[in-house]
Amino acid sequence: MYIAIAGNIGSGKTTLTEILTKRYNAKAYYEALANPYINDFYDDMSRWSFHLQLWFLGSRIEQTLDMLADNSEHVFQDRTIYEDAHIFADNLHKMGLMSSRDFDTYMKIFAIQCDTIPKPDVLIYLKASVPTLISQIRMRGRDYEQNIDEEYLCRLNDKYNNWIDNIYDGRVLVVNKDVDDFVKDPSIIDRICNSLEEMCMRKREL
Say what angle helices 13-24 and 187-205 make with each other, to 10 degrees: 70
Amino acid, res. 199 = M
Instruction: Identify the active-site residue in 44, 78, 90, 149.
Output: 78
Q: List the CATH number of the domain containing 180.
A: 3.40.50.300
Q: Closest Cα to residue 172, out of 99, 109, 123? A: 123
The better pLDDT of the pair 66, 85 is held by: 85
Give the chain's mean pLDDT.
Answer: 89
Q: What region does 189 belong to: left with phi over 0, alpha with psi -120 to 50, or beta?
A: alpha
Q: Give phi and psi for 197, each to the nearest 5.
A: -65, -40
In this prediction the pTM is 0.88
The residue range of the domain holding 39 is: 2-205
**pLDDT for 41-83, tens place per residue?**
989 999 999 999 999 999 988 888 888 788 888 999 999 999 9
Q: How many domains does the chain have?
A: 1
190 in catalytic set = no
Q: ∠ CA(37), CA(56), CA(189), 5° rounding? A: 120
The predicted structure's pLDDT at residue 54: 94
- Taking 3-state DSSP, the helix, strand and coil percentages for the chain, each rounded to the nearest 5, stand at 60, 10, 30
Length of the chain: 206
Compute the distance between CA of residue 16 and CA of residue 76 in angstroms, rounded to an integer: 10
**pLDDT for 120-162, tens place per residue?**
999 999 999 999 998 888 777 666 566 677 888 999 999 999 9
Does the pLDDT of residue 205 top 80, yes or no? Answer: no
